[in-house]
Structure 1
């Protein structure tokens, strides 16, 4: 896809906040043509090093936007990239590679330097380990590989694996999801339709995980449009402000929790968000407050916010569009309607539970449904019922047919109908909070909060905010840097609960968690 985009739009720019590790000489503003040449170069080196069509290639390198183009180079050969988040620990990586058993593993000197004993375990599992830059004993150095032979092109059958990514791992070791080519095409088709409907032709900025399946769909769509692409590695407010003031994006996509941290940009007199016409977030439900602030920060006449709900296994299942008008009365638990002709959703009653509500398991069908959990087929089969996939979320459908998400199955507690709804309420009433997470500890429901730049928590304001909620414990205030989260900024609730219970997560005040 990079080659085709470069032929049509060779001078279009990428806006980077960090040079590519693969080619630092390209600087911070490489063109489509330069990136296409980079993909061809890396593909030739991989091919010369033994990668062939149909091979599975594990990719685990330092956090950088070049992860996208390393995956493109693997796919250029007809091999299947298996992308691992840079923030995973080596012990987890080796467990995942034991399930995957790839033909090749691509990494860098930084990651190898951190591997310790796990590096030896990896080499026992994988026949070939390659370094994208630099040299180390016993490893193949791609920079020493020949580049004079371009690999032949291979068309991957629509039902064959084309990309392997993994789940967020909020409840344990991430599961590796193999997506068929038809599955990777689903979100591209959806976004292409949307772009045509919106007549979108402006710079697109993304600050989302570079190994997530969603990111590859976003990249493919942007390349097809030939627009400027800002690929941010750092979600820090000051970094985002700097890049946005330069490229003035018309579209922005980030993980929901990032938007909460970016709310302070709305008051910036230079207006880094002023030109944004379309805000987007996917997979995780976003708090209504953040949507309101983002839409209010835009100076465009009709800005919109597009929220998509789904999972790595399914791709996007539903979507909801917000405007300045409808967000005023929006229910934050509503995640919208399925995509006509592409996805469906239903509610399946929970066995043995009759609580007088319409609540049940959310299940979905999707043309983008992953074809297996690599190395965990039995677990995959447990989640699948014919064409229907159990998302392991609890929710219901309204009389209008829209889907409402209440909680993850594993997070539900009898003290509150919906932890997510309670969190929406608190965040809506306390602008100083950047996160509010309700977790279940042995003593009951424990609110855990983060404040903007770790400022002190106003306890009186908190008491007023929770006055209409069932009785909950006093909140524990922690720094965001100590909040355990995934590469997509999704909070690991079980890890948070365990860290509070055993005292390994430091708190910013004297209020101790429930025991």
Structure 2
């Protein structure tokens, strides 16, 4: 880990941002030859050498060579370049190379269907595309030149051009959204905004041996690598996200911090965690959607953490609610064995974020009223690339709409109720699916996981359907549990569920591997 003196120098450099941070780090630190990134899937360089670890110096050397190759192919500043690889550190190394010449790496979700990838690339205006063997079929359909990794011939000699000088608002990445609500969007991330949250939190009390299982094609994967490398942490880039692989990697690497999207943690919780050694973990960090109490409580019972110089039993679960458009996160909530405030509470905002709960006209709502989450802040996107109309439709009252519904309590805490697209408009009133799922998981131990969607009925309204994945030791049937769930909802003045269906981890899953409510709405029918 780097000293506070070095961290102060990093924070003081007003030219440092996402587009040059690794080069700036070498300028400040000097010797960056110690191995920093450890890989569960080896990176094969242009010589055919497989590397299972990399230093900052290694990354920069590889990036310089790739930068020269991209220049030979005619890539120039502000050119989007599409990257379509299997989940790996390859995205990151090409990100460093492309930003060093002022180009804009355009990351595609590795699991996109081919026709979606072709359309996504066309919408971004990418000048060329890079693929690995798994995505070589893109060459047959894309309207731009497509190069395979094994076709790269690195020119000899040093860098052909100096490191590109970024201004704070220069675009440095087009981040893909998950496609949860429709066609994936290309979110613009800029030089300083993408790094802003990382730099503000640089001295935060977080891990020294970090396992990151985030999707490495995503902007969150890039910012976490930025954060760890700038702090001098050792990082394991984990591409195998199945629970058994995660458990083995945590133990072998002795990770004190594990970072992932919520789905990875939910999958881990399907196992008997008492039979796994997780005692090395002090921090769990989830990025993206808010996590459910039932799953968080299973993880924090293991390990220890230090707070104010005193070691405490149990680990800490840091829940950062954000989105692709925010670059970092808007809300933060810390859970431990000693915390009791759950119930969809997502905590408070980061100091640099301005959050408001808005009505449909863009007016700020009073406390305890559910409305649209509006966000302002220095790490916010300028909009969707090549889509001004959609960008403007996501602005209301001077705020960017996150797509969430929430309320602010009288004590300044925020409570997440639902995604706007997932709210169910029943004849009895609105049913907030995330809130309802939280209520069920907290009160019915026989339910391991559940998802609520609204299905259009013959009367023009929606009716709520709940897909239930039973716990392995469940003693009741879904029918019996459903009766008790509806009694609880009635007692809480929440509209009832019209239909219960059985679920399992592979049902209703989209190309991201995440259960998509959009898919559920397409596949589930009502009995009318």
Q: TM-score, normalised by structure 1?
A: 0.85
Distance in 1 (CA, whole Å) between partners of 2:286 and 2:264 is 10
Q: State the Cα distance separating 1:474 from its structure 2 match.
A: 4.7
1:298 is aligned, of 288, 294, 303, to 303
Q: State the Cα distance separating 1:454 from its structure 2 match.
A: 12
Distance in 1 (CA, whole Å) between partners of 2:472 and 2:280 is 26
1:448 correspondence with 2:461 = no
After TM superposition, the structure 1 = structure 2 runs for residues 223-234 of structure 1, keeping only pairs within 5 Å, are 223-234=229-240
Residue 36 of structure 2 contacts residue 229 of structure 2 at CA under 8 Å; is this kept in 1? no
After TM superposition, the structure 1 = structure 2 runs for residues 61-140 of structure 1, keeping only pairs within 5 Å, are 61-113=85-137, 115=138, 119-123=139-143, 126=144, 128-133=145-150
User: Partner residue of 1:309?
Assistant: 321
Residue 212 of structure 2 contacts residue 236 of structure 2 at CA under 8 Å; is this kept in 1? yes
Distance in 2 (CA, whole Å) between partners of 1:424 and 1:304 is 20
1:253 correspondence with 2:259 = yes
1:153 correspondence with 2:172 = no
Q: State the Cα distance separating 1:47 from its structure 2 match.
A: 2.5
User: Partner residue of 1:174?
Assistant: 184
* 2:192 aligned counterpart, secondary structure: helix
Q: State the Cα distance separating 1:84 from its structure 2 match.
A: 1.0
Q: State the Cα distance separating 1:284 from its structure 2 match.
A: 0.6
* 1:297 aligned counterpart, secondary structure: coil
User: Partner residue of 1:411?
Assistant: 422
1:19 correspondence with 2:32 = no
1:468 is aligned, of 461, 475, 488, to 488
CA distance 1:34–1:431, shift in 2 (3 Å): farther
User: Partner residue of 2:79?
Assistant: 55
Residue 254 of structure 1 contacts residue 280 of structure 1 at CA under 8 Å; is this kept in 2? yes
Distance in 2 (CA, whole Å) between partners of 1:408 and 1:33 is 42
CA distance 1:211–1:454, shift in 2 (3 Å): farther
2:285 is aligned, of 277, 280, 285, to 280
User: Partner residue of 1:508?
Assistant: none
CA distance 1:81–1:432, shift in 2 (3 Å): farther
Q: State the Cα distance separating 1:190 from its structure 2 match.
A: 3.5
User: Partner residue of 1:188?
Assistant: 198
User: Partner residue of 2:460?
Assistant: none
CA distance 1:359–1:382, shift in 2 (3 Å): same
CA distance 1:329–1:352, shift in 2 (3 Å): closer
Deviations 1:437-486 (Å, cap 9, x if unpaired)?
A: 10112352111133568999843456545541243245322332233235
Q: State the Cα distance separating 1:430 from its structure 2 match.
A: 4.5
Residue 60 of structure 1 contacts residue 84 of structure 1 at CA under 8 Å; is this kept in 2? yes
Deviations 1:129-148 (Å, cap 9, x if unpaired)?
A: 22212xxxxxxx21x34242
CA distance 1:19–1:450, shift in 2 (3 Å): farther
After superposing on structure 2, the runs of 4+ consecutive aligned residues of structure 1 that deviate more than 6 Å are 352-357, 452-457
CA distance 1:111–1:210, shift in 2 (3 Å): same
CA distance 1:359–1:269, shift in 2 (3 Å): closer
2:217 is aligned, of 186, 211, 214, to 211
Distance in 2 (CA, whole Å) between partners of 1:434 and 1:314 is 30
Answer 1 or 2: which has greater helix percent. 1
1:425 correspondence with 2:435 = no
1:10 correspondence with 2:27 = no
Residue 2 of structure 1 contacts residue 32 of structure 1 at CA under 8 Å; is this kept in 2? yes
CA distance 1:33–1:492, shift in 2 (3 Å): same
Distance in 1 (CA, whole Å) between partners of 2:266 and 2:323 is 21
Q: State the Cα distance separating 1:44 from its structure 2 match.
A: 2.7
CA RMSD of aligned residues (A): 2.9
Residue 424 of structure 2 contacts residue 453 of structure 2 at CA under 8 Å; is this kept in 1? no
Deviations 1:129-185 (Å, cap 9, x if unpaired)?
A: 22212xxxxxxx21x342424142111111121111122211211111112212112
CA distance 1:474–1:297, shift in 2 (3 Å): farther
1:481 correspondence with 2:487 = no
